[in-house]
Amino acid sequence: MSKSLMRRAKNVVNGYSTTQVLLREATSNDPDGPSLDLMDEIAERSWDSVSFFEIMDMLDKRLNDKGKNWRHVAKSLTVLDYLVRCGSEHCVPWAKENLYIIKTLREFTHEDETGVDQGQIVRVKARELTALLQDEERLREERELKGRNRRPRRR
């Protein structure tokens, strides 16, 4: 596939770190959603403070991407949702601090060439994530539940 080749070339040219490459892979323009393994790996890396900032930096870029790249936005919301539930404890404060980025996506619209509104999925995801972040109780429960079911962490 030339597209994934292009992406690999861009990764090298722009000098992205391995973590950022993972994130770019997870939020790419391919029609498939990010795999669970990939998201697990990213969540695992969010415990490392250097990787954490690399992840969030890239997520920030992807979340603010153009309408044409609505898949970037949708998948970034998926990854962020996963991080908020299963990532390091830094992820939740980050998401809360930047809630306006997510909140303002609740009215995201993009019409593709055929006139189909592709924004719906972004709107739904943004709405759900906002609701989760504003519900302290539920968020804590979710994180506890996920924490118990997971294998022990590296650190």
Task: Spell out, one character per residue from 44 to 73, where the chain touches another protein: x when CB under 8 A holds, - when not.
Answer: --------------------x-xx------
**Does position 114 bind another protein by CB under 8 A?**
no
Query: Which residues does 147 contact at the CB level (< 8 Å), separation at least 6?
Result: none
For residue 107, give the DSSP letter. Answer: G
Q: Which stretch binds another protein (CB under 8 A): 2-10, 26-34, 103-111, 145-153?
A: 103-111
Q: Can you give the length of the chain in residues?
A: 155
Shortest Å distance, C-beta 100 to another protein? 5
DSSP code string of 29-59: SSSSPPPHHHHHHHHHHTTSHHHHHHHHHHH
Minimum distance from residue 107 beta carbon to another protein (Å): 5
Q: Under a CB-based contact definition with an 8 Å cutoff, are residues 90 and 52 in contact?
A: yes
Min separation Cβ 109 and another protein, Å: 5
Cα–Cα distance for residue pair 87/79, rounded to 1 Å = 10
Residues lying near another protein in the complex (CB under 8 A): 64, 66-67, 100-101, 103-109, 117, 120, 123, 127, 134
